[in-house]
């Protein structure tokens, strides 16, 4: 009877991987001293009567480690893209050169680096909470299976497997956070 009862580890793994993917996207949006095209992903431009991401208004390139360029396809949108970047709060001052917008990435001061490291830690904690919530759902599945006749040995095996998966994912979050904080604090 207990052989029929299984916990969907693949679903739990997929959901924990989703938390990691979200964390990596949040980390990519953090401005470090280096240029990254993903810094502009969250910026929306009011174009053609709707809000479009910058990368749908032009080609985003990183020609140098401290420079981003946006080659705007429609010359009529150049000023709107520039305004969206200026108003985004990234602290970048765009320079317009025809259809090309150049975004020099300024050096970060020590205080701003520490602040960004704290923000990265908050993002990582949110990912840890999401992973723990998935773990709790898995443990709830085990409790329901207990009511359906799962043996205590099977409960122990499944709970150990879920805990091991959780510990492994939390370790990946911690490793990713350490790498991002090191990148932020680099001068």
Give the pLDDT confidence score for residue 163 in this predicted structure. Answer: 95
Q: Are residues 90 and 22 in the same domain?
A: no
Range of the domain at 17: 2-28+109-185
Domain CATH code at residue 56: 3.30.1360.40
Q: What is the mean pLDDT of the chain?
A: 87
Same structural domain, 97 and 118: no
Percent of the chain at pLDDT above 70? 95
**pTM score of the predicted model:** 0.69
pLDDT of residue 17: 94
| Confidence band of 5 (pLDDT split at 50, 70, 90) | low
Q: Is the pLDDT of residue 31 over 80?
A: no
Instruction: List the single range of 74-78, 79-83, 105-109, 153-157 with lowest mean pLDDT.
Output: 105-109
Q: Which of 104, 127, 145 is the last residue of a domain?
A: 104
129 and 96 belong to one structural domain: no
Beta pairing class for 95-97 and 100-104: antiparallel
- Indicate whether 52 and 96 sit together in one domain: yes
* Whether residues 150 and 179 fall in one domain: yes
Using left for φ > 0, alpha for ψ between -120 and 50, and beta otherwise, residue 150 falls in: beta
């Amino acid at each position: 009877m207990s052989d029929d009862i299984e916990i969907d580890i693949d679903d739990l793994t997929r959901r924990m991987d989703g938390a990691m993917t979200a964390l990596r996207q949040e980390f990519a949006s953090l401005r470090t001293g280096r240029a990254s095209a993903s810094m502009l992903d969250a910026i929306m431009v009011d174009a053609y009567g709707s809000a479009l991401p910058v990368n749908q208004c032009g080609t985003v390139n990183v020609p140098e480690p401290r420079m981003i360029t946006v080659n705007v396809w429609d010359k009529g949108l150049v000023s709107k893209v520039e305004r969206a970047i200026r108003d985004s709060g990234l602290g970048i001052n765009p320079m317009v050169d025809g259809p090309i917008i150049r975004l020099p990435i300024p050096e970060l001061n020590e205080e701003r680096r520490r602040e960004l490291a704290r923000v990265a830690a908050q993002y990582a904690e949110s990912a840890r909470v999401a992973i723990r919530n998935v773990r709790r759902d898995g443990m709830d599945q085990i409790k329901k299976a207990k009511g359906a006749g799962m043996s205590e040995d099977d409960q122990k095996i499944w709970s150990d497997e879920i805990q091991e998966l959780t510990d492994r994912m939390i370790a990946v979050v911690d490793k990713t956070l350490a790498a991002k904080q090191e990148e932020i604090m680099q001068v």
